[in-house]
Amino acid sequence: MSARPTIVAMGGGGFSMEPDNPLLDDFILSLAGRPRPRVCFLPTASGDSDRYVANFYAAFARRSEASHLALFVRTVTDVEAFLLDQDVIYVGGGNTENQLAVWRVHGVDRALRIAWQRGVVLAGLSAGSICWFESGTTDSFGLDLDVLEDGLGFLPGSHCPHFDGEPQRRPAYHRLIAEGRLPAGYAADDSAALVFEGTELREVVSSRDGAAAYRVECVDGEARETRLPTGYLGA
């Protein structure tokens, strides 16, 4: 486990988006501090997609003690004990609002907070990165981006993934922050990851040269975007 509470929020990337580029996933595994860490996949946002789960095992089974937590057909009785026994919890993409609702029914939200506080590394992309913040942009309600207001709140402020990967993401995030509908926060390109220790941003890393993350704030009624220093993992 990590020495401090650690969250890796990926704008996009990892095994599901970059199957031939393991740099971000290798980085996440390195944070566990052991040669063969225990990694649990949470595919809730995809409705526990069988294909998504199979792709996870294909990517992780050879280099970790891989498992997953299914909630639509639940087989684990003690969710908290199961999650606390992991070194890394990796959350997949999909519908963020559905994911949060299902987690709260099964007590996963509470278990994740305890795991985070005890040093289990939390990571994920898209829905698996928005969820850690107070709020963010979401397509959970349809094709148009809207405000997600009820994130887990482990990290303060808002978040926008896929910043360079989907054309509507950047203008929508700017508009929502300028209008005061979202607080200041962080955006991340596909292939870029924000790494937090506790609630403080420690670094930004990327699996693609040129991918980056940004701090976005409202200044005098307009959104102001500041590119953050980013370390390319392939350098």
Q: Is 126 one of the catalytic residues?
A: yes
Chain mean position to CA 225:
21
| Alpha-carbon gap, residue 14 to 32, rounded angstroms | 16
Contact 1/87 with Cβ under 8 angstroms?
A: yes
| Alpha-carbon gap, residue 203 to 86, rounded angstroms | 23
| Alpha-carbon gap, residue 23 to 114, rounded angstroms | 28
Which entry of 2, 16, 126, 129 is annotated as an active-site residue?
126
Which entry of 162, 174, 206, 207 is annotated as an active-site residue?
162
Helix/strand/coil for 69:
coil
Cβ-based burial of 184 (10 A; exposed 0-12, middle 13-18, buried ≥19): middle
| Alpha-carbon gap, residue 203 to 231, rounded angstroms | 8
For the chain, helix, strand, coil in percent to 5 are: 25, 30, 45
CB atoms within 10 A of CB 82: 17
Report in angstroms the alpha-carbon separations of 231 from 157, 192, 212: 23, 9, 9
Report in angstroms the alpha-carbon separations of 110 from 41, 92, 97, 115, 128: 17, 18, 16, 9, 16
Residues identified as active-site:
126, 162
